Chains A and B, each alone.
Chain A
Amino acid sequence: MALFRQAARIAWKDLRVELRSREIVATMIFFGALLVVVYSFAFPHDDKAVRSSVPGMLWVAIAFTGTIALGRAFDRERENDTMRALLLSPVPRLAVFLGKAVSMAALVLAVSIVVAPLLALFLSAPLFDYAGELALVVLLGAIGIAVVGSVFAATLLKVRSRDVLLPVILYPLLVPLFVAGTKTTAALVEIHPNLEAAWYWIRFLGVYDAAFLVLSMWIFESLVIE
C-alpha cells in the first residue's frame, strides 16, 4: 500500500507542477486543435469520408501530442537535475515509475478530451454515439502510451537527440496500440456500428496494456540508472 501512496504522491507532484504552469496542457491542447483544423482542410467532409477517416485523425493526434508531451514532461525533470533527486529519494524505483506513468496518462488524456469533441464539432463526426466505449478505449490508449513512454523518456533523459529518438522508439513498439485504438473507433463510428468488433479490440488493448505494464515495472529499474 505504501508503494501506491508514494506513487500517488509523485504523480500529484507532477500534476501540481503542470497545474501551476499549464505549459504542457495549454500548448498540447492548442497543437491538437490546430491538427483538427488542418484535418478539416485536408480531408473531404461528406459523411462517408468522415466516418472512415475520423478514427485515424483521432489516433494520429493522440500519438503526436502524446510523444511531444512525454518528451517535454521529462525535460522538466532534467533541467534542474530533479530526476536524480527523484531517484535518490527513499522510495522504490517502482513508485517513481508508477507515479510518472499516472501523471503522463493524465496529460495524454487531457489532450484527447479536447481533441475528440473538436473532431466531432468541426467534422460533425458521430464520435459520441457510443461515448462510453470511446472513453474506455481512449483511456486504455493513454495508459499504454504513458506506460511505455515513461520507461523510454526516462532512459533517454541524458541523451542529446532524445526528441527524435523518442518517437523512433515508441511508434514501432506502439503500432498494435494505435491499430487497436483506430479499429475500435472505426467500429464505433461506422454507419452500422459493430460493437462486437469494438469490444474485441478494447479487450486486445486491455491485454496489451497489462502485458506492457508488467514488463515496464520489471524493466524500469535496470534501464534507468544514474
Chain B
Amino acid sequence: MKKLVVPVFSVLAAIGFVVSIYLIFMATPLEYGVDARSGRLAGSSLFFNQKIFYFHIAHAIVLFTAVFVAGISSILFLWKRNPKFDDVASASTDVAVAFGAATLATGSIWAKAAWDVWWNWEPRLTMSLLLWLILVGYVLVRKFAGPSADRVAAGMAIFGMVGVPFIYTMVGQDSHPASGANGVVFTLGARLLPAFLTSMVTFFLWYIALVVSRVQSTRDEREVRELREKALDLGVLQ
C-alpha cells in the first residue's frame, strides 16, 4: 500500500498535468473578471497572461502548505524525538524550495506581462518571497550545520511558522502605491474553476509523491548506514 503512493500519485499527476494544460488553454474562456491594468471590471475579457495564474497559484499554495508541514513536523520531532518527523520536515522543505522557485518565476513573468515590470512587491508575491527565503535558510542549515543540523533546522522551521501571521500582517499593511490598488484579484467564474481545481490537485499530488519518495530514500539511506556499521562491527565488512 505504502509503496504504491509514489507511482500512483506520479501517474495521476502526469495525467492531471496534460488535462490541466488542455483545460487552461482550450476550455477556459477569456471573458471573466477584472482588467489587470486598470483594476476595473473589464466585463468581457481576461488578458491572455492570466493563463499563468493556474500554475502560479498551485505552486504558491504548495509553498505555503510546506511552511506549515515543516513547522508542525518539526514540533513533533522536538517533542517525540523521532527522526521520522524530521525526515518529513526536511523532505517537504527540499521539495517546497523548488515549488517556491517556480512560484516566484511564474509570478515574475506574470508581473512582466501584466504591469511591465519583472518585480513590483505585490503583497502576495512578497510574502511568497519571504517564506521561500525561510525555506532556503532551512535547507542551508540542514546542509552545513553538521551533527546538530536537525535540531537547529527544526527550530528554524518552528520560528518560521510562527512568523507567518506577522509576515502576513506586515505585507498587508505595506501595500506599495504602485501595486496594491491594481492587484489581479478577481472572483473565479464558474467556468474557470475546472482548470483551477485540476491544476491544484495535480500539483498537490506531485508534491506529495515527491515528498514521500524523498522520505523513503532518506530512510533507506539511514538503514544502509546502520547496516554497514553493524557489519563493520561484526567484521563481515572490511
Q: Which residues of A contact B (CB under 8 A)?
A: 148, 151-152, 155-156, 158-161, 164-165, 168-169, 171-173, 175-176, 179-180, 183, 200, 204, 207-208, 211-212, 215, 219, 222-223, 225
Q: Check if A152 sits within 8 Å of B152, measured CB to CB.
A: yes
Q: Which residue of A lies closest to B134 (CB)?
A: A172
A49 CB → nearest B CB, Å? 19
Task: Report A-chain residues with C-beta under 8 Å of the C-beta of B151.
Answer: 155, 222-223, 225
Q: Which residue of A lies closest to B133 (CB)?
A: A172
Docked Cα-Cα span, A171 to B79, in Å, equals 26
The 8 A CB mask of B120-164 against A (1 = contact, 0 = none) is 000000000010011011001100111111011011101110110
Task: Report A-chain residues with C-beta under 8 Å of the C-beta of B145.
Answer: 156, 159, 161, 165
Q: Which of B79, B156, B173 contacts A169 (CB 8 A)?
A: B156
Q: Which residue of B lies closest to A161 (CB)?
A: B144
Q: Check if A176 sits within 8 Å of B166, measured CB to CB.
A: yes
Interface of A is mostly: helix
User: Would A152 and B162 be within 8 Å (CB), given that A160-B146, A165-B140, A168-B140 are in contact?
Assistant: no
Docked Cα-Cα span, A99 to B158, in Å, equals 23
> Apart from A151-B159, A173-B134, A215-B162, what are 20 other A-B pairs with CB-CB below 8 Å?
A152-B152, A152-B155, A155-B148, A155-B152, A156-B145, A158-B147, A159-B145, A159-B152, A168-B140, A168-B141, A173-B160, A175-B130, A176-B163, A176-B170, A204-B169, A211-B166, A215-B159, A222-B79, A223-B152, A225-B151
Task: Report B-chain residues with C-beta under 8 Å of the C-beta of A179.
Answer: 170, 174
Taking the complex as formed, is B23 at the interface, i.e. its CB lies under 8 A from any CB of chain A? no
Taking the complex as formed, is B201 at the interface, i.e. its CB lies under 8 A from any CB of chain A? no
Task: Report B-chain residues with C-beta under 8 Å of the C-beta of A172.
Answer: 130, 133-134, 136-137, 160
Interface of B is mostly: helix
Q: Check if B155 sits within 8 Å of A175, measured CB to CB.
A: no
Taking the complex as formed, is B78 at the interface, i.e. its CB lies under 8 A from any CB of chain A? yes
Docked Cα-Cα span, A155 to B130, in Å, equals 23
Q: Which of A207, A212, A225 contacts B159 (CB 8 A)?
A: A212
B152 CB → nearest A CB, Å? 5
Docked Cα-Cα span, A191 to B155, in Å, equals 42
Taking the complex as formed, is B46 at the interface, i.e. its CB lies under 8 A from any CB of chain A? no
Docked Cα-Cα span, A179 to B169, in Å, equals 11
Taking the complex as formed, is B167 at the interface, i.e. its CB lies under 8 A from any CB of chain A? yes
B79 CB → nearest A CB, Å? 8
Q: Check if A208 sits within 8 Å of B159, measured CB to CB.
A: no
18 A-B pairs with CB atoms under 8 Å apart are A155-B151, A155-B155, A156-B145, A159-B149, A159-B152, A161-B145, A165-B144, A168-B137, A169-B152, A169-B156, A173-B156, A175-B133, A175-B163, A183-B174, A204-B166, A208-B166, A212-B159, A219-B78
Docked Cα-Cα span, A172 to B148, in Å, equals 20
Q: Check if A200 sits within 8 Å of B173, measured CB to CB.
A: yes
Docked Cα-Cα span, A173 to B151, in Å, equals 16
Docked Cα-Cα span, A49 to B154, in Å, equals 42
Instruction: List the 9 shortest-distance A-B pairs measured between CB atoms, nearest first.
Output: A176-B166, A172-B133, A172-B134, A222-B78, A172-B137, A159-B145, A223-B155, A155-B152, A176-B170
Task: Report B-chain residues with C-beta under 8 Å of the C-beta of A180.
Answer: 170
Task: Report A-chain residues with C-beta under 8 Å of the C-beta of B147.
Answer: 158
Task: Report A-chain residues with C-beta under 8 Å of the C-beta of B159.
Answer: 148, 151, 173, 212, 215
Task: Report A-chain residues with C-beta under 8 Å of the C-beta of B173.
Answer: 200
Docked Cα-Cα span, A155 to B152, in Å, equals 6
Task: Report B-chain residues with C-beta under 8 Å of the C-beta of A200.
Answer: 173
Task: Report A-chain residues with C-beta under 8 Å of the C-beta of B79.
Answer: 222
Docked Cα-Cα span, A157 to B111, in Å, equals 43
Most B CB within 10 A of own CB, among A164, A171, A208: A208
Docked Cα-Cα span, A132 to B181, in Å, equals 34
A118 CB → nearest B CB, Å? 28
Q: Which of A169, A204, A207, A222 contacts B137 (CB 8 A)?
A: A169
A81 CB → nearest B CB, Å? 16
Docked Cα-Cα span, A211 to B160, in Å, equals 12
